[in-house]
A and B are shown apart, each in its own frame.
Chain A
Amino acid sequence: MNNMKYSICFISFVFLFLMSMINFFFMIYFIMNNMVIMMEWEIISFNSMSIFMSILLDWMSLLFMMFVFLISSVVIYYSKSYMSSELNLMRFIILVLLFVFSMMLLIISPNIISILLGWDGLGLVSYCLVIYYQNLKSYNAGMLTALSNRIGDVFILMVIAWMMNYGSWNYIFYLEFMNNDWEMNMIGSLIIMAAMTKSAQIPFSSWLPAAMAAPTPVSALVHSSTLVTAGVYLLIRFNMMLLDLFFLKLLLLLSGLTMFMAGISANYEFDLKKIIALSTLSQLGLMMSILSMGLPDLAFFHLLTHAMFKALLFMCAGVIIHMMNDMQDIRFMGGISLYIPMTSLCMNISNMALCGIPFLAGFYSKDLILELVSFSNLNLSIFFLYYFSTGLTMFYTFRLVMYLMVNDYNLMSIYNLYDEDYVMLKSMMVLLFMSIISGSFLSWLIFSYPYMIYLPFNLKMMVIYVSLIGGLLGYFISNMGIYSVNKFIMTYNLSNFLCLMWFMPNLSTYGLSYYFLNFGQNLLKNIDLGWSELYSGFGMVKILKKYSGFYNIYQMNNFKIYLFSFIIWMMMILFMLLFNN
């Protein structure tokens, strides 16, 4: 059985890693020659409408595929150790491979029908992976994830219906030529809404932290670096069409609010994986907002660097959770750098990359984004949302590091402290290397036309100012003693609002279903069990029974009854005669 486990993980790892390398070389070749390859197979054609299976290979799709293959290969290698006690490891690996396949369909396709295949595949596999540990919490989280994503699927279906007017579903041909068409604007708005569900923007944010019920390798691959970026990738592809839409401006506000909300909620959270999930949400907001400012290449750049360090962060979290005897609450952790120094090193570096500490991966993308925000002609509130959120990133990262590594150990499960797991460490080292170099490498590689930025000194240093303030606040907050609890009670309602993601999980679960369920219950009580029962079911039987009993008595030909009715009639006639006079 062990050999079996070894082989499936190892074969998948080798296959995915080789695919990643092949994609890398092709990507270099494509960028170098400014090449695009498009292939089409006609599947069916009727009434001047054709359904094609299309493949679009350009540097963007190849680069994204390379990153997805690389992360999935190391995640599978990591799963060999992380999921070693799993009985159905084969099932798990097949699900992950199915996920990679769906992602590939989405990445390479310029056709909205094959995108739907990939899109739906992602939703389905993601549901299967969220409910992988079969318990009630996972089922609820899985249902929330699947149904939220289902809304996006419906929007894509509506786009397919709208695009039938053009006779083909190859959207890539219509992006520029049909730019001013009213129908194309409609399609653009629907695509934005679909992307918002997949990338968990407000008001569809609640599923992302809930999806943390999945096994940690899945979180590393699916819910941080690949699945959630599918929406961003779709909008990057559609970007040239969307720029004039009002809806894109709305998206700028919503995504700005998403990153702000996620940043604040992460500071209130104590679940290790949920903190990282909320940080993912915050970074997704950043990608979406820079995308809605019309800079898709920057969004793509941040998508790639973020994928690397966030997958690494989740993998480190997985090691810590194993070590803490499956405990995820950071209040029970502390001082782990003494027990697992190499994992702590990886964790610190990925955290620093997330914060945008110079010369790590996140710095190149985040700093460029923020400088271009400063450079462009934007509303002041959007500007503040960007900078507050950057400060908040530093805030929750510092708080997390203080809880995990600096503060004292809480002796919750000291018997379980063990040495580093080298299988997991080896896979983390690959991502560690990428988290350090990918920012610099990609910034040279993908920006054929570099951005010129020209800012006053203080505006240029603004990122460092807000980061320093955020870090200091994070340090103070993590050291808050129990005396501050009383102060929190004073602001209980506000804390509740902020830590529950602005009540969004409530809105998208109870908020949506409560009134409908309540209405249904009332219908059941009043109509099904009430009036309709009275008039049709139970009531009718009762009436029929009563009257048939009554008639039955008549039909018994009882002499007494005839006599009695004769007397009554006689009395009535007598009365009538008497009173007539």
Chain B
Amino acid sequence: MGQMLGSYDAKKVGLYMDDQPTFDPQAGFNYQRKPREMVAREADLISAKIPPKHRDYCAHYLLEYQSCRYKNMPMIYKCAHEKHAFLTCEKDDYELRMKEFERERRLRLREKRLVGAY
């Protein structure tokens, strides 16, 4: 719902939620942007049986959480810190993606303005 309202305006420039960034990632920045880094190793993820859909950029925190769960089962509330670290990472990642979406929207608007279509 929030996403729908937030992305409603973007449809004017043909931008939908699942679209990928199309502009140069460095355009308009004075400093060098660093791409996100996959910390967790594939072998570790496979050995921990993490499903593919959870193998994202925060998977190293997820691995820590999983190992903590294994050690403390069934008193999993002891893993609150690991869980929090994972969720914070996910939240930062989400924020980053939202900012990238907004950047894409503004850049598309700018492009249209420059060619005089808008």
Interface residues of A (CB under 8 A from B): 28, 31-32, 34, 373-378, 380, 383, 444-445, 448-450, 452, 454-456, 459
Q: Is B46 an interface residue (CB 8 A)?
A: no
Query: Within the complex, what minimum Cβ distance (angstroms) separates B53 from chain A?
Result: 9
Closest to B93 in A: A452
Query: Within the complex, what minimum Cβ distance (angstroms) separates B71 from chain A?
Result: 10
Q: List 13 A–B pairs whose Cβ atoms lie within 8 Å, in order of A's numbering.
A: A32-B69, A373-B1, A376-B1, A376-B3, A377-B4, A377-B17, A378-B4, A383-B1, A448-B66, A450-B65, A452-B87, A454-B94, A459-B1
What number of B residues sit within 8 Å (CB to CB) of A?
24
Query: Within the complex, what minimum Cβ distance (angstroms) separates B100 from chain A?
Result: 15
Closest to A455 in B: B2
**Are A445 and B54 closer than 8 Å at their CB atoms?**
no
**Are A375 and B90 closer than 8 Å at their CB atoms?**
no
For A378, the chain B residues whose CB sits under 8 A away are 1, 4
Q: A32-B70, A34-B49 are in contact. Are A445 and B2 (CB under 8 A)?
A: no
**Are B74 and A456 closer than 8 Å at their CB atoms?**
no
For B65, the chain A residues whose CB sits under 8 A away are 450
Query: Within the complex, what minimum Cβ distance (angstroms) separates A304 from chain B?
Result: 15
Interface residues of B (CB under 8 A from A): 1-4, 17, 49, 51, 54, 62, 65-66, 69-70, 73-74, 76-77, 83, 86-87, 90-91, 94-95
Determine the distance from Cα of A501 to Cα of B83 in the docked complex, in whole angstroms.
44
For B95, the chain A residues whose CB sits under 8 A away are 454
**Are B73 and A31 closer than 8 Å at their CB atoms?**
yes
**Are A449 and B74 closer than 8 Å at their CB atoms?**
no
**Are B2 and A449 closer than 8 Å at their CB atoms?**
no
Closest to B69 in A: A448
Q: A374-B1, A375-B2 are in contact. Are A28 and B49 (CB under 8 A)?
A: no
**Are B62 and A449 closer than 8 Å at their CB atoms?**
yes
Determine the distance from Cα of A449 to Cα of B62 in the docked complex, in whole angstroms.
8
For A374, the chain B residues whose CB sits under 8 A away are 1-2
**Are B2 and A452 closer than 8 Å at their CB atoms?**
no
Determine the distance from Cα of A174 to Cα of B78 in the docked complex, in whole angstroms.
39
**Are A450 and B94 closer than 8 Å at their CB atoms?**
no
For B4, the chain A residues whose CB sits under 8 A away are 377-378, 380
Determine the distance from Cα of A548 to Cα of B77 in the docked complex, in whole angstroms.
100
Determine the distance from Cα of A454 to Cα of B4 in the docked complex, in whole angstroms.
14
Closest to B74 in A: A28
Query: Within the complex, what minimum Cβ distance (angstroms) separates A414 from chain B?
Result: 48
For B86, the chain A residues whose CB sits under 8 A away are 450
For A377, the chain B residues whose CB sits under 8 A away are 3-4, 17
For A444, the chain B residues whose CB sits under 8 A away are 76-77
* In-complex Cβ contact of A456 among B2, B69, B73 (8 A): B2
Determine the distance from Cα of A383 to Cα of B91 in the docked complex, in whole angstroms.
23
For A455, the chain B residues whose CB sits under 8 A away are 2
Q: A32-B70, A445-B76 are in contact. Are A452 and B3 (CB under 8 A)?
A: no
Determine the distance from Cα of A104 to Cα of B65 in the docked complex, in whole angstroms.
33
Determine the distance from Cα of A445 to Cα of B74 in the docked complex, in whole angstroms.
7
Most buried by B among A375, A444, A459: A444
For A34, the chain B residues whose CB sits under 8 A away are 49
**Are A28 and B73 closer than 8 Å at their CB atoms?**
yes
For A383, the chain B residues whose CB sits under 8 A away are 1
Query: Within the complex, what minimum Cβ distance (angstroms) separates A28 from chain B?
Result: 5
**Are B17 and A454 closer than 8 Å at their CB atoms?**
no
Determine the distance from Cα of A334 to Cα of B86 in the docked complex, in whole angstroms.
50
For B54, the chain A residues whose CB sits under 8 A away are 449
* In-complex Cβ contact of A452 among B17, B49, B77, B91 (8 A): B91
Determine the distance from Cα of A450 to Cα of B95 in the docked complex, in whole angstroms.
17
Determine the distance from Cα of A450 to Cα of B81 in the docked complex, in whole angstroms.
13
Determine the distance from Cα of A32 to Cα of B4 in the docked complex, in whole angstroms.
38
Determine the distance from Cα of A31 to Cα of B3 in the docked complex, in whole angstroms.
34
* In-complex Cβ contact of B87 among A28, A375, A450 (8 A): A450
Closest to B4 in A: A377
Determine the distance from Cα of A452 to Cα of B94 in the docked complex, in whole angstroms.
9
For A28, the chain B residues whose CB sits under 8 A away are 73-74
For B1, the chain A residues whose CB sits under 8 A away are 373-376, 378, 380, 383, 459
For B2, the chain A residues whose CB sits under 8 A away are 374-375, 455-456, 459
A375-B2, A444-B76, A449-B62 given; name 18 further pairs at CB < 8 Å.
A28-B74, A32-B73, A375-B3, A377-B3, A377-B4, A377-B17, A378-B4, A383-B1, A445-B76, A449-B51, A450-B65, A450-B86, A452-B87, A452-B91, A454-B94, A454-B95, A456-B2, A459-B2
Determine the distance from Cα of A63 to Cα of B94 in the docked complex, in whole angstroms.
33
For B91, the chain A residues whose CB sits under 8 A away are 452, 454
Determine the distance from Cα of A445 to Cα of B70 in the docked complex, in whole angstroms.
11
Q: A375-B3, A377-B3 are in contact. Are A452 and B62 (CB under 8 A)?
A: no
* 9 shortest interchain CB distances as A-B pairs: A452-B90, A444-B76, A32-B73, A383-B1, A374-B1, A28-B74, A449-B54, A452-B87, A34-B49
For A376, the chain B residues whose CB sits under 8 A away are 1, 3
Closest to B80 in A: A444
Determine the distance from Cα of A34 to Cα of B90 in the docked complex, in whole angstroms.
23
For B3, the chain A residues whose CB sits under 8 A away are 375-377
Determine the distance from Cα of A295 to Cα of B2 in the docked complex, in whole angstroms.
18
For A454, the chain B residues whose CB sits under 8 A away are 91, 94-95
Closest to A373 in B: B1
For A450, the chain B residues whose CB sits under 8 A away are 65, 83, 86-87
For B87, the chain A residues whose CB sits under 8 A away are 450, 452
For B17, the chain A residues whose CB sits under 8 A away are 377
Query: Within the complex, what minimum Cβ distance (angstroms) separates A95 from chain B?
Result: 34
Query: Within the complex, what minimum Cβ distance (angstroms) separates A113 from chain B?
Result: 29
Closest to A27 in B: B74
Closest to A444 in B: B76
Determine the distance from Cα of A455 to Cα of B1 in the docked complex, in whole angstroms.
10
Closest to B62 in A: A449
Closest to A452 in B: B90
Closest to B94 in A: A454
Closest to A443 in B: B76
For A445, the chain B residues whose CB sits under 8 A away are 74, 76
Query: Within the complex, what minimum Cβ distance (angstroms) separates A562 from chain B?
Result: 104
Closest to B90 in A: A452
Determine the distance from Cα of A449 to Cα of B53 in the docked complex, in whole angstroms.
10
Closest to B65 in A: A450
Query: Within the complex, what minimum Cβ distance (angstroms) separates B13 from chain A?
Result: 18
Determine the distance from Cα of A32 to Cα of B70 in the docked complex, in whole angstroms.
6
